[in-house]
């Protein structure tokens, strides 16, 4: 939808709480000036739903993801590849994310909500 939109700095709201397979796959890929992701309120992730969603968003430094079930296949695959090396990730307490481009980037501060 916004793939390659290099002037986008703040993403529009994405209030969906129920997701479909591949629904946001690649949505903000290569939005190189994006700094703030929309809050992601869905609690259960579906296969490929956030796959490569923020791939190449080199300035992205804020994400609030409230998912409590992140086990779907490829749901977070490379979703933060090439994001900023520092930022703040807000997540539900007790949820364990991988620590890499398919989870929370190394170097980011994690805040439990």
pLDDT band at residue 31 under the 50/70/90 scheme: very high
CB 87 within 8 A of CB 113: no
Mean pLDDT of all residues in the chain?
95
Counting residues of the chain whose pLDDT is more than 70, the rounded percentage is 100
Inter-CA distances, 49 with 10, 23, 55, 85, Å? 20, 5, 13, 23
Measured CA to CA, the distance from residue 58 to residue 113 in angstroms comes to 25
Residue 84: domain span: 1-113
What value, to the nearest 5°, has the Cα angle with vertex 12 and ends 32 and 56? 20
Measured CA to CA, the distance from residue 62 to residue 47 in angstroms comes to 23
Predicted local distance difference test score (pLDDT) of residue 34: 95
Residue 25 has pLDDT above 90, yes or no: yes
Predicted local distance difference test score (pLDDT) of residue 3: 86
Measured CA to CA, the distance from residue 79 to residue 70 in angstroms comes to 13
The tally of domains found in the chain comes to 1
């Amino acid at each position: 939808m916004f793939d390659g939109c290099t002037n986008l700095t703040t993403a529009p709201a994405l209030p969906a709480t129920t997701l479909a397979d591949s629904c946001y796959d690649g949505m903000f890929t290569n939005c190189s000036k994006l700094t703030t992701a929309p809050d992601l309120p869905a609690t259960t992730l579906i296969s490929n739903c956030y796959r490569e969603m923020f791939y190449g968003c080199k300035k992205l430094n804020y994400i609030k993801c409230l998912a409590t079930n992140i086990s779907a296949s490829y749901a977070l695959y490379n979703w933060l590849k090439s994001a900023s090396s520092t930022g703040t990730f807000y997540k539900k307490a007790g949820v364990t994310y991988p620590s890499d481009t398919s989870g929370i980037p190394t170097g980011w501060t994690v805040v439990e909500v």
